[in-house]
Structure 1
């Protein structure tokens, strides 16, 4: 059973945009009321009713609220119930230590609402466009860049800096089978974002650099506007739109690369990198503080531009098996003789072993070392100690 999401940009008219804003506002209200009830009034609710405050109890109170308030009743009940389910799931994840506790939602930030798949209909109008029917809203046109496959399970409408989008989730999709054999090592870098142990490099699309220059220029324009003015708000929206397009291009590239790797190799070996720690600021350093901070800021920006963590997350749910290995000295170790020497790494691209003279691309050499570590069995400390005792001379 395969699941897949299809995202399209909607083209609503003014009346439909007002309906979208109303749906998002009511779902935000339901979320905030339910969150406040869980935070501050759960003891009173438990003492008064004798029941725990969970999704079932809050869905029952939502029915009473819809009977009393007209503008809440005007919005689809399924969307409001999905907001309560999302809140309940967020609490469950937080209690398991998988994330933070949910927070209050603000207007204009992550506005969205979700419908059940059985209530959504999708039709193709012509080669470029299609339309989707949503309960209490009607038919909305959208740019249908690819056909749907499988059975629709849900549809989420969300507001982004690039406009209103709909994400349609389907299951039982026709997906090409991924590989289950062969192993590859993957080195993540900055100059070369991804290098495989078989010598295949993956480079970022040139569009990202172009969009980055546009975003910097738009940010300079916004910095000259008066804060709080309409021109400042317009300039900020332009910056957000460019950054959102940049993120979309990066995510599309990451999906294409990870899918290509997962279809060729069943096991993927990567380094155990802590991207969050690696991209911390260098402020507060003693030696040449201004220069160090500027250099570290540039390195952080380059790492985040590639999206190391995003690539790792995609590999984990696409590849048949992912192995994480110790990243220490992978770029200083010779993949031919195993000698470790920092002088062997001549520059960003060249590796020349100081022991055996082996020459290779530095990223390719590191990817081979990563592959070797993934294929080498790990000996537990207790087993290692027992072996040492047995091998000691009598």
Structure 2
């Protein structure tokens, strides 16, 4: 049994869109009121009732609130109850140390609500369109881009700069088969997005760089607008729209690439990169100001543009679905190690793209050389590609002797 999400673009009529915004606003209000009650009034509640504030207590008070205000009762009760459950989960995560203290939901950021699966119905209209029945709103059309599989557990309706979307969380019966496909190592970079150990180079669409320039230009326009003005709000919507479009292009490319990889390879080896540490600002502080802050900011932006973490997440669940696995290895010296003799010398990395071993003279593309080293770090007992022996990595350089490679045994195993 696996769980998958199916996301579609909604096409509501104006009256339905107004109802969707009303639902989102009321659900956001209920969440914020419940948060304020737990944060500021929990002592008064305990003294008055002798109990403690939790989901059950606040659900009872929600019933009284719906009786007192018709405009709250006009919104279906399930999304309001789901908001209280979200708050209960947020507090549980906070007390367990998994997250920070819950914060209020904001308009324009948290515009969404959730229904249970049994309350949602879907029907096919034609080859390209379907419709979903939303309680108290009716049938809303959506663009049917892929078939809906499994049993629906819940459905979330959300608003982003590109419009309203619905996401179905489904439970699918699935039997994992044996996967005997070969392994591959992948080196992630900025100039070359993905370099496979087989020699293939994959790059993100060039349109993302164009959109990044447009976004920075739009952000400069926002900086010149007066706070609270209509023109500033319009400029902010343009920035959000550009960011959302870039995100859609990136996710589409990542889905296509990861699907192709899991169809051809049974296991994938990646470097265990700490993206948060790699994109840390170099600005420093007043006592110890940083150096090359502008160039480091550009590098950070280029790294984040690649979407390394989301690529890893998509790859992991698709491999698991097909019986494969994702392995992460130590990234140290993968770009300085020769894939032919195993010598480690930083002088061998001549440039961003050129690798020339200072010990054996082996030449290759630097990213391809690193991808082969990443693949070999998966396990010491794996079959070695192309007849190479995975030599024990020994740090070499000035004044250090070159390590001797062990001879290959029968079958090419260690």
TM tier, smaller: 0.7 to 0.9
- SS of the aligned residue for 1:11 comes to coil
Q: CA deviation at 1:245?
A: 0.9
Q: CA deviation at 1:301?
A: 0.8
CA distance in structure 1 between the partners assigned to 2:175 and 2:200 by the alignment: 24
CA displacement 1:32-85 (0-9 Å, x = unmatched): 111122222333333443434222222222222222221111111111111111
User: Counterpart of 1:360?
Assistant: 364
Would the alpha carbon gap of residues 362 and 29 (structure 1) be closer, same or farther in structure 2, given more than 3 Å must change?
same
- Residue pair 1:149, 1:174 contacting (<8 A) in 2 also: no
- Aligned pair 1:70/2:85, yes or no? no
Q: CA deviation at 1:331?
A: 0.4
Q: CA deviation at 1:175?
A: 9.2
CA displacement 1:240-281 (0-9 Å, x = unmatched): 101111011112222232333334333332222111111111
CA distance in structure 2 between the partners assigned to 1:186 and 1:33 by the alignment: 48
User: Counterpart of 1:140?
Assistant: 140
CA distance in structure 2 between the partners assigned to 1:81 and 1:55 by the alignment: 9
Q: CA deviation at 1:328?
A: 1.3
Q: Give me the CA root mean square deviation.
A: 2.4
CA distance in structure 1 between the partners assigned to 2:307 and 2:136 by the alignment: 39
- SS of the aligned residue for 1:153 comes to strand
User: Counterpart of 1:384?
Assistant: none
CA displacement 1:105-159 (0-9 Å, x = unmatched): 1222221001111111222222322221100011112222222122222111111
Q: After superposition, where does 1:315-326 map in structure 2 within 5 Å?
A: 315-320=315-320, 321-326=325-330
- Residue pair 1:177, 1:263 contacting (<8 A) in 2 also: no
- Residue pair 1:2, 1:175 contacting (<8 A) in 2 also: no
User: Counterpart of 1:231?
Assistant: 231
Would the alpha carbon gap of residues 123 and 175 (structure 1) be closer, same or farther in structure 2, given more than 3 Å must change?
farther
Out of 254-263 and 220-229, give the one that drifted further. 220-229
- SS of the aligned residue for 1:184 comes to strand
Q: CA deviation at 1:355?
A: 0.4
- Aligned pair 1:211/2:211, yes or no? yes
CA displacement 1:6-54 (0-9 Å, x = unmatched): 2222222222122111111111111111112222233333344343422
Would the alpha carbon gap of residues 8 and 89 (structure 1) be closer, same or farther in structure 2, given more than 3 Å must change?
same
Unaligned 5+ runs, structure 1: 378-394
- Residue pair 1:211, 1:242 contacting (<8 A) in 2 also: yes
- Residue pair 1:122, 1:131 contacting (<8 A) in 2 also: yes
- Aligned pair 1:328/2:332, yes or no? yes
User: Counterpart of 2:407?
Assistant: none
- Residue pair 1:4, 1:173 contacting (<8 A) in 2 also: no
Q: CA deviation at 1:174?
A: 7.1
User: Counterpart of 1:242?
Assistant: 242
Out of 211-220 and 322-331, give the one that drifted further. 211-220
- Residue pair 2:282, 2:291 contacting (<8 A) in 1 also: no
| TM-score, normalised via structure 2 length | 0.83
Unaligned 5+ runs, structure 2: 382-414
CA distance in structure 1 between the partners assigned to 2:372 and 2:111 by the alignment: 45
| TM-score, normalised via structure 1 length | 0.87
The alignment of Structure 1 onto Structure 2 pairs a total of residues equal to 375
- Residue pair 2:284, 2:290 contacting (<8 A) in 1 also: no
CA distance in structure 2 between the partners assigned to 1:227 and 1:56 by the alignment: 42
